[in-house]
Structure 1
Amino acid sequence: MVGFCILAGILLVIFSASFILVVIETIQSEYSYVSIPPGVNNPGKLRLVLASMISTSVMGKILEKLEVCSELAFTRYMRSGKKLGPDPQLWLTDEQFCRVPVRVYRPRAPSAGLRTAAIFFHGGGWRYCGIDFYEKICRYIAKETDSVVVSVGYRLAPEHKYPAAYEDCLNATIHFMKNTQHYGVDPDNVIVCGDSAGGNLAAAVSHTLVGRSDLPKLRAQILLYPGLQGVDFNLPSYQQNRGVPLLLRERAAFYALQYLRGDALDLKEVLEGSHIPPDMRLKYRKWVSPDNIPEQFKVRGYKPHQPPEFKADVYEAVKRFCEPNLCPLLAEDAVIQQLPESFILTCEYDVLRDDGLLYKKRLEDNGVRVTWYHLEDGFHGIISLYEFYSFFSFPSGKRGLDRVLKFIKGL
C-alpha cells in the first residue's frame, strides 16, 4: 500500500511537471506575442477569453501526448457549441443541400409576402466551429429580420483542403436559390453572409455567381471581418494587431495554409512575403497595398515592409493563393463591377482589418454600393461570441450584429 502511494505520488509529480512544461511551451510557441490593447472593448473580459483559449490549447496538447485524442479534435469539441431546443418563434430543420449539411431557420409567424433569406457561412479559420456554434446568432437574425436563415456546415480543413469548403458553400447556395419557393423566399432577395473565414467564403461565392444567367442575382453580400488575401501579411493591421486575440498574425497565415494545402510547412516564408513573384506582387500592388489604407489607420504604427528574396519553390507550393476563389481581393475589375450591394464590418484591433478596408475600396472604385461599419473597440471574432456564454458576450459585438440586422431590414 505504501509502495503504491509512493508510485502514485511520483506519477503525480511527473504529470504535474509535464503539465507545467506543456503550459510553458504552449505560451512560448503560440502566445508569446499576445497583447491586449487598452482601447479594446472590455479588456478584462477579453483576458478571460484568452485564458480559455490557452487552457484549451494546453489540454489539447496533453490529451494528444496521452494519445487520448488529437489536439485538433479536442479544440473542435470545445468550439463546437451545442444545438438548442425548440424555439417558439422559429421552425428549425436540419437538411442536406447537395450532400452539404445545413440548418434552416424559418419564422413561424405568417408573412404577408415572400421573405428575404440569408445564407450564413460560419467562421473558425476553415478548421473549427460549425452550425451549432452559431446557433444563437442565426436564430437572432431570423427572428429580428423576419428572414429565412440557412446555416451551412461545410467541410473543414486540414482534412478537406481548398476548394472543399468553397465548393460546399457554393453548391448549398445554388441549391437553395433554385428552391426558394419551397421556403417562401423571394428569389431576388437572397443574401450571402459570413464572418472571418465565412466572410471569405461568402465573397468567393458572390464572385462565382456573377453573370449566372440561370440564377437570380444575389441581393447582397455581408462580410464580417473577412480574410480576403494571402499576398501580404505585413499590412498595417497585421503589424499593429499581431498579438491581439482572437486571431494572431501567425495564426492567420497558419489557418490559410491549412485550408490551402493541409499543412503549414512554409509558414515563415509566407509571413515574410517570399512566396509571391516580383511581377505578380507589382500587379497586385494596385489592390493590395498599404498605400490604399487611409492614414487614420496607420497612426498606431506602421513600418513599410520589404519582402525578402523570392523563393520559387515556395510559390509553387502555395500558388493557389492567387486564385480569386481563395483570395477574393484579387478578382479582376470585370467581376468586382458586377457584385451585389455589400455590407462590410471591420474591427480596429484585428489583423484582418485592412483586408476589409482594401476590399471596400475596390468595391467603391468599381461602382458597387457599400455600407461599412467599423468597430473602433472591436477585435477579431467579437460577433461570434454573441451570447455564446453570458460572460463571453461583448457589447461591441452586439452593436455590430445589430448593424447587420439594420442593413438586412433596409434592403
Structure 2
Amino acid sequence: MPQLTELISPAAAGAVLRAVFGLPRPLRRLIAGPPVRQDGQELALDAQLLLLMSKLDQRSLGGGSPEDARAGLARAKEMLGREPGRPVRTREVAIADTVTSRLYTPKALPEGSPLLVFYHGGGWVIGDIDTHDTVCRYLAVHAEVRVLSVGYRLAPEHRYPAAAEDARTAYEYAVKNAAELGADPQAIAVGGDSAGGNLASVVSLFADRRPDFALLFYPATDLSARRRSRELFAEGFYLTDADMTWFSDHYCPPERRTEPMASPLLAEDLAGFPPTYLVTAGFDPLRDEGEEFAGRLADAGVPVALRRQEDLIHGFANMWPLGGRFQEALSEAAGALRTGLYAGPRGRA
C-alpha cells in the first residue's frame, strides 16, 4: 500500500508543509502540542512540528530495501526544494570511474576563492549529490566559497572502505586541480553531514596534504560502540537507533568497525587534524560520539569549535528551506566555514 504522502506530488506536499510552517506561532504550537523536554533540553517548535508532520509518511530513514530508502530520501528533497536568493552556477566534474561530483560557484565569486569538498550524508547507503543540492547551494552562497559535492560509492553494493577511498580520491583531485576548479589551493576545506561528516573526518586524518578546515555536521565517529544519546533518542527524533544499526550493518562488517577509517574517534593520534567547526544536535542519537570526537581533537591541540544546537534534530542542515531554527543553525555553520577559510591559512599568507 502506498504511503499517504505518495498519493500527492512532492511539490504539493511541500506546499502544504510550508503553509503549516507559515502559520502564526500560537497556531503552530497548538498543532504541535506541548513542548517536548528531554535530557535538560527543549525541542524547538520547528523540529517538533516537522516530526509531527513526518508521521503522516510513516517512513523511516533506514529499514526495508536500500532502493526504497533511497527513494524516500529523494522524495523528501523534492518536498523541501528551495534555493538561496543568489544564483549559483553548477557543472559536473569527472573525478574517477567510481566518483562523481558537482561544482557550485555563486554568481560574482572571484577566481581563487576557497573551496569546500562536501560529502553527503545518508548512512553510507542512501543520499547522493541531488539530495544535498540545496545544502551545497546555501553553503556556497553564505560562506562565499566554491563547493565540490562528491558522489561516492554506496553500500551495500560497495561496502567499507569504498566510500572512504572515494572520499580521499575526490579530495586529492581537488588539491591537484584547484586552479582548474577556480579555487585557492591554500584554502581547501572538507565537510559533510552524518556519514559525510565521518568521511570528511577520515580524509582529514589520512590525506597526505591535510585540509585547511573541517566542517562537520553531527558526524558519525564510532561504529563500534553505543553511547548514552543512542539510548536517550532511540526513537521519535528523525534518525533512530534502528536506522543507525541498519546503516552500519549495510556499510561495515563488525570485525572492522574499530578501524580508524570506519571510526575516526578511535584513531590513536589526532594531531594534525585541521581546525574544525563541529556541530551536533541535542535530540540526536549521534550527539555524544560527535562531542566526544570534538573533545579528543581539543586534547590533541586541534583548534576546534564545538557547537551543540540543543533544540534540534539530526539532519537539520537539509531542513533549512523551512526557515526558522533550521536555517539559523545552517547560517551559523556557513559563517564558521567562511571565517575558518578566509581568516585561516590564506588570510595569514
TM-score by length of 1: 0.68
Match of 2:324 among 395, 398, 404: 395
Cα distance change of structure 1 residues 366 and 56 upon mapping to structure 2, 3 Å threshold: closer
**2:200 aligned partner:** 202
> Distance in 2 between the 1:178 and 1:347 partners?
34
Distance 1:55 1:357 in 2: 28
**Whole-angstrom distance in 1 between the partners of 2:306 and 2:124:** 24
CA deviation vs aligned residue, 1:181-225 (integer Å, no higher than 9, x gap): 11221111101000011111110111111xx2xx4x311111110
1:373–1:400 CA contact under 8 A, matched in 2: no
Task: Please identify, of 193-202 and 90-99, the stretch whose mean Cα deviation from structure 2 is larger.
Answer: 90-99
Match of 2:26? none
CA contact (8 A) 2:60 2:243 kept: no
Q: Could you say which residue in structure 1 is the equivalent of 2:242? A: 250
2:187 match: 189
**Which consecutive segments of 4 or more residues in structure 1 shift more than 6 A?**
none
Question: Are the structure 2 counterparts of residues 241 and 84 from structure 1 closer, same or farther at C-alpha, using a change threshold of 3 Å?
Answer: closer
Q: CA deviation at 1:148?
A: 0.6
Q: What pairs up with 1:230-249 in 2 under 5 angstroms?
A: 230-233=223-226, 235-249=227-241
Aligned partners of 2:189 and 2:215 also within 8 Å: yes
For 2:165, the equivalent position in structure 1 comes to: 167
Cα offset for 1:110? Answer: 5.0
The alpha-carbon distance between structure 1 residues 56 and 243, as it changes in their structure 2 partners (threshold 3 A), is: closer
Name the counterpart of 1:74.
68
Q: What pairs with 1:1-400 in structure 2 (closer than 5 Å)?
A: 37-38=36-37, 39-42=42-45, 43-52=48-57, 54-55=58-59, 71-80=65-74, 81=77, 89-99=87-97, 100-111=99-110, 114-209=112-207, 212=208, 215=209, 217-233=210-226, 235-261=227-253, 318-333=254-269, 336-387=270-321, 393=322, 395-400=324-329
Once the two structures are superposed, residues 291-314 of structure 1 have per-residue CA deviations (whole angstroms, 9 ceiling, x without a partner) of xxxxxxxxxxxxxxxxxxxxxxxx
| Per-residue CA distance 1:1-23 (angstroms, 9 max, x = gap) | xxxxxxxxxxxxxx89xx9xxxx
AA of the residue aligned to 2:285: V
Please report how far the alpha carbon of residue 384 of structure 1 lies from its aligned counterpart in structure 2 after TM superposition.
Answer: 1.7
- Whether the aligned pair in 2 keeps the contact of 1:244 and 1:350 (CA below 8 Å) is no
Superposition RMSD on alpha carbons, in Å?
2.6
Paired residues of 1:79 and 1:128 also in contact (CA < 8 A): yes
Gapped regions of structure 2 (runs ≥ 5)? 4-34, 341-349
Local SS of the residue matching 1:152: strand
Q: Distance in 1 between matches of 2:145 and 2:60?
A: 35
Question: How far 1:253 sits from its partner (Å)?
Answer: 2.1
Aligned residue pairs total 298
Output one character per residue of 1:359-409: Cα deviation in whole Å (capped at 9) or x when no partner: 01101111100111111101111212222xxxxx35222122111111122
Q: Which residue of 1 aligns with 2:23?
A: none
Aligned partner of 1:260: which letter?
A: C
Structure 1 residues 243-294: Cα deviation after superposition (integer angstroms, max 9, x where no partner): 1321111221221121114xxxxxxxxxxxxxxxxxxxxxxxxxxxxxxxxx
The alpha carbon displacement at 1:329 in A equals 0.2
Q: Deviations over 1:65-108 (max 9, x none)?
A: xxxxxx432331232246999x9732210121122110101133
Q: Gapped runs of 5+ residues in structure 1?
A: 1-14, 20-35, 62-70, 262-317, 388-392
**Amino acid across the alignment from 1:365:** D
Identical residues among aligned pairs (%): 30
One-letter code aligned to 2:300: N
Q: Distance in 2 between matches of 1:187 and 1:51?
A: 47
- Superposed CA deviations along residues 92-127 of structure 1, whole A, max 9, x for unmatched, are 10121122110101133152x621101110111111
Q: Secondary structure at the match of 1:344?
A: strand
Supply the distance in 2 between the matched residues of 1:226 and 1:84 (Cα, whole angstroms): 24
2:186 aligns to what SS in structure 1? strand
